[in-house]
Amino acid sequence: MKRLYGIRGAITCENTKDSISEKTLEMCSLIFSENGLKPEDFVSMHFTLTKDLDEMNPCAAFRRLYKECDVSRIPLFCSQEAYVKGGLEKVIRLLVTVYMEEGSVPQNVYLGGAAVLRPDLKGKL
């Protein structure tokens, strides 16, 4: 039996189209492979960006670059991360909502400088 799960990810990047695109693809690819996700598992994907990333929308980058399967039917959404003084800069975050077998343990992915956001998860992949 399947149930709904949320899988989180975050990665740091530079404010260039290439960096945002490459890092978005890296994070998504790892989340998908670590969790054994297939297109039919997805409900939606919600990206956020810190306010200092404004060169590229990660949704557009994901749709353009991800070639492992057809992602045209996955609803994608992007918004600006809430600004917090002193917070980590240049971060793309992701919440993927998917169906997985009940009892699954979602593998969250925190890459690059974003690993400091969840030290409790560091090294669990």
Tokens 């039919």 found at: 40
Residue 63 in tokens = 């749709």
Contact 78, 57 (CB under 8 A): yes
Q: What are the tokens at 47?
A: 């990206």
Is it the case that residue 124 has pLDDT exceeding 80?
no
82-100 mean pLDDT: 96
Rounded-to-5 percentages of helix, strand, coil across the chain: 30, 30, 40
Whole-prediction pTM: 0.93
CB atoms within 10 A of CB 29: 15
